[in-house]
A = this chain, B = another copy of it.
Amino acid sequence: MRKEEKRIEILKAALKVISGMGFEGAKMEDIAREAGVGKGTIYEYFESKNALLLEMIQYCTKCFQEGLEKTLAEEEDMLGKIRNLSMYGAEFLNAHAVLMNSQIVHQALPKDMETQMKRDWNLIYQTIEDEVRKGIHIQEIRSDIDPEMAVAIIVGGVNQYTFKKLMEDNFTPREIDHTGIAKTILAGLIP
């Protein structure tokens, strides 16, 4: 129990430090300091730096996934769900920039992390794909739509817009037009 709590403490510290300095920029010492423990202590809880990062990614995607399911459940229709996805994603991205755009990270990390991250992200995609399929079923979404494509457009579109607004235009998550992006994704671009 006590042990499990400190584990989480270290994972959170790792997330924070990595969000600020990137994967390789994060030194074990920084993480230890942030977690308020000694450098050696981390090794009581995690095999190695890589193991820590790996668990951190899992922890983080699990958190995201759980919050995502809750936020999606709060809304009935597709528009509301995408808007909530955008809002939730923006806050998460704002807090932990590094992880949201996980694609690139693959390359820089050992193979085992890559695999893990693929698995974790597939879960998130799957969650959204389920919503898309439900939408198709109740005819909120066209039946000729490839659900995989729909997920890509929703996730990619929302992410890209959010990222741009947060990082380039220095918006706060609240200032982003989540409804607008959701509507545009749904309605498409043509007349």
A binding-site residues for B, Cβ under 8 Å: 18-25, 78, 97-98, 100-109, 118, 122, 125, 132, 135, 139-142, 145-146, 148-161, 163-164, 167-168, 177, 180-181, 184-191
Contacts and interface: CB of A to CB of B under 8 A. Distances in A.
Given A153-B160, A159-B156, A181-B149, A22 B107 contact: yes
Q: Is the interface of A mostly helix, strand, loop or mixed?
A: helix
In this complex, the member of A19, A118, A164, A191 whose beta carbon has the largest number of chain B beta carbons within 10 angstroms is A164
Contacts of A109: 22
Contact of A107 (B97, B155, B168): B97
Copies of the protein in its oligomer: 4
Contacts of A98: 104, 107-108
A34 to B, nearest CB: 16
A19 B106 CA distance: 11
B22 A108 contact: yes
A17 to B, nearest CB: 11
A148 B164 CA distance: 9
B108 A21 contact: yes
B155 A160 contact: yes
23 contacts: A22-B107, A22-B108, A24-B24, A25-B108, A100-B104, A101-B101, A104-B105, A106-B167, A122-B168, A141-B189, A141-B191, A146-B180, A148-B161, A149-B180, A149-B184, A151-B160, A152-B164, A153-B160, A155-B156, A155-B160, A185-B189, A186-B189, A188-B189
Contacts of A132: 189
A13 to B, nearest CB: 16
